[in-house]
Structures are given as structure tokens and as C-alpha cells.
Structure 1
Amino acid sequence: MCRIPRCQYLFLLCVEGLSLSLKSASENGSISGCRINRSAPAITHLLFADDSFLFFKATTLETKAIQEILSSYKRFSGQAVNFQKSAIFFNANVHRDKQMEIKQTLGVFNDIGNSKYLGLPSLIGRSKKTVFRYLKDRVFLKIQSWSSKLLSRAGKAIMIRNVAQMIPTYTMSCFMVPKTLCQEIERLMNAFWWKSNVSTGKGIRWCAWDKISMSKKSGGLGIKKPPKLFLSASRNPTSN
């Protein structure tokens, strides 16, 4: 039987009070939250462990309402918000003067920007290939470090299956990654398989990569192609 420490129970009770305060403010119209479409319910907050995401309109009234809720939460629970570690994000339609006013009211001056949360990009813009470029860079650096070593074909197959293909798995379990980026990662693995120096990309391809990517039962090496390994792992319908 799993036992939860009493301090964690107290933390959950305090956070439940914060959640009810935000819900009450949404019901009486103090804050409006965020909607993904007109018919969807408004989302005022998301809670994960000790992190909280608050959603409200960039107006003076709603900003003061959020400030009052956080102040009340601090008085009753004794837990204060760490504004130095907090960050804020504005819609592109919010004027810069209004942004500065809200930042000064809340005391939060850090922008989310291109930061990461739990190892994943915080914001996904129109150019997904630029956002997820770091996946290809990490695979490339790994393969470059292996190129100086004398690896057999079996060793290369193990490195590709157990290391290179596992690097993007965590990210691609949450987001849909562009197919072109998956193909570029596949080319890196292909070049590494046929030649140790992947920077030149040369080497005789004695066999088509489609045959190598087949299952072992079918005569291949079990190196899955990106459309099967990566794209099928992206099951989050909200990340399209």
C-alpha cells in the first residue's frame, strides 16, 4: 500500500483551495480564462505538481483579480509565488504598453519565449521544423561521437536502434513532428550505417534503406523508419 506523507496532503488541500478560488472568479466573471473555440469551456488554470498555469485576458481588471487571488492564497496557505522563476506570455494583439503594465502589476517580468518545460518546448509556432530542430542536432552529435570509433555493423545497428532512435521518442510522444525532419534524421542514420564519417555523407549503399528498415523476420535489421517510429507515437490531437 502506497503511503503519502502528511505534508503532501496539506499541499494538495491548499492547491485545491487555489483551484476553487479561480473557478469561483470565473463563474462571477472576474476572469474569463481561455477557450480553444467558442463552444469549448473556458480554461482558467492547469496544475502540474508544484507548477501552475493561469489563463486570463490581458486587461487591468482581470490582472488585479488574479493578483488578489494569489495574495489571498498566500495569506491563507503560507505559500508564496516565486516571481523570479515565473514567466508570462502575451498574445500578439496585446500592445507593448499593456504588457508592461500587466508585468508590473503581477511582478512577473520573464517571458516564456523559446524556453522549455519538462524538456519540451513551451510554445509551438508555425515553423515546427525550427522548434524541433534540436532533435536532429542531438542525433547528429551522438552519431558524430560514434564516427571516431571502430564499430562493427552489429554495433552500429545497436547504436541506431537503442540510442539514436530513442532520442526523439519523448518529444514525439507529445507533439506531431514534421515528416521532413524525420526524413533528415533518417538520412543521418543511413549515412552512419554505410560510412563512419557522417559529415561527408559518402559511402556505397549496397542495400536500399527500405530493406534495412524491415523487421528481422522479413530479413531486415529492425531499424524502424521515421513514419512508423516517430509519427505513429504522436497521439495528441491538440498538437496539430
Structure 2
Amino acid sequence: MEIIGNYGKASRHEVNLEKSSIMFGKNVPEDLRPQLKSVIDISKEGGMGSYLGIPESLQGSRTKVFSYVNDQLDDRVDGWSVKYLSKGGKKIMIKSAALALPTYVMSCFKLPQELTSKLTSAISRSWWRSNDKARGLHWVAWDKMCDDKCEGSLGF
């Protein structure tokens, strides 16, 4: 409690113990957990929710833990009606909405290669499709589309 108090004084942020929850590691014995909760005066155990959009508990497969990012991207991209957009409009939509979505999670954690491939694939599909149902023909390799603008690419 002294450490939490010192943190509050140093940061000028007071910890609200009523809203707080505690998460124990697997090495903390079950009989010790109630004692620690009573000393700290935190009654709730956490670990199953999310904080700032990131899961509190990162146990298990990271691909499964962060699969919600792919789901969000798919929902966002599939919601666009691309048949009414020009290529310039699609480019703006992709850069402003699709590429910005995983940025916060990626600033905190390194995402698995499998997941980043799925994200790239979803963005690529949204670029090449010409209507809501068609898959679209990929005329240029996506790697070349992601090159810098100064090299003549679109800079995805």
C-alpha cells in the first residue's frame, strides 16, 4: 500500500480501489490470494476484461488473443460500399480507417505473423474488389503497393 501511495503522490493520480481489480499469476498460492486482497483492500479479481481495448490477460495463443483486431478490421472493411468510391476514395478510406485500426495494439505488442498476414490480406481484398461481393483481381503484388510514394507506389 505504501508503493501505491507513493505512486499516487509522484504521479498526482490517486488509485481508486473500488474500481480496481487484482490479477494473480499462476505461482501465487490460492490460500494467499484472499489475504493479499484484504491487505490491499481490493475485492475484485480481474483478468478477463479489456483495458483501453487490449485484453487484460494474454494467456494462450497470441493469435487467438488478438483475433479481435482482425474481426474489427473485417467488420469495418466489409461495411464499406466500394462500388461508389473511386480509387482515390478507396485509398483514403484504407489509409484513414483500416491502417489506423491496429496501430494502438501494435504499439504495445508485437502481433503474430499469421495475424498480420490476415490484416494485410483484408486490406488488399478491399482495395482490389470492385463491388461488395466480388473478390477482385489483384493486378499488382501487394508488396509493390506498399512501397514508398517516391518510388511510384501508393504508399500503403
- Range into which the TM-score falls when normalised by the shorter chain: 0.7 to 0.9
Q: Which runs of 5+ in 1 are unaligned?
A: 1-14, 21-44, 53-81, 224-240
Contact 2:82 2:90 in 1 (8 A): no
The match for 2:102 among 168, 187, 205 is 168
The TM-score normalised by the length of structure 1 is 0.54
Tell me which residue corresponds to 1:204: 137
Count residues with an aligned counterpart: 153
Contact 1:191 1:201 in 2 (8 A): no
State percent identity of aligned pairs: 33
Say which structure, 1 or 2, has more relative contact order (CA 8 Å, 6+ apart).
Answer: 2
Tell me which residue corresponds to 2:68: 134
- The alpha-carbon distance between structure 1 residues 128 and 170, as it changes in their structure 2 partners (threshold 3 A), is same
Letter in 2 for 1:173: S
- The alpha-carbon distance between structure 1 residues 48 and 133, as it changes in their structure 2 partners (threshold 3 A), is farther
Tell me which residue corresponds to 1:29: none
Distance in 1, Cα, partners of 2:11 & 2:23: 18
After TM superposition, the runs of 4+ consecutive aligned structure 1 residues lying more than 4 A away are: 104-107
Q: CA deviation at 1:147?
A: 3.3
RMSD of aligned alpha carbons: 3.0
Contact 1:214 1:221 in 2 (8 A): yes
The TM-score normalised by the length of structure 2 is 0.79
Contact 1:140 1:188 in 2 (8 A): yes
* Larger Rg belongs to: 1
Letter in 1 for 2:141: A
Distance in 1, Cα, partners of 2:11 & 2:70: 29
Tell me which residue corresponds to 1:40: none
Q: Deviations over 1:145-204 (max 9, x none)?
A: 11366211111111111221111112211221112211100000111111143xx67221
- The alpha-carbon distance between structure 1 residues 144 and 173, as it changes in their structure 2 partners (threshold 3 A), is same
Contact 1:147 1:192 in 2 (8 A): no
Distance in 2, Cα, partners of 1:48 & 1:126: 33
Q: Which runs of 5+ in 2 are unaligned?
A: none
Letter in 2 for 1:115: G
Equivalences for residues 1-240 of structure 1 within 5 A: 18-19=5-6, 50=13, 52=15, 82-104=16-38, 106-147=40-81, 150-195=84-129, 196-197=131-132, 202-223=135-156
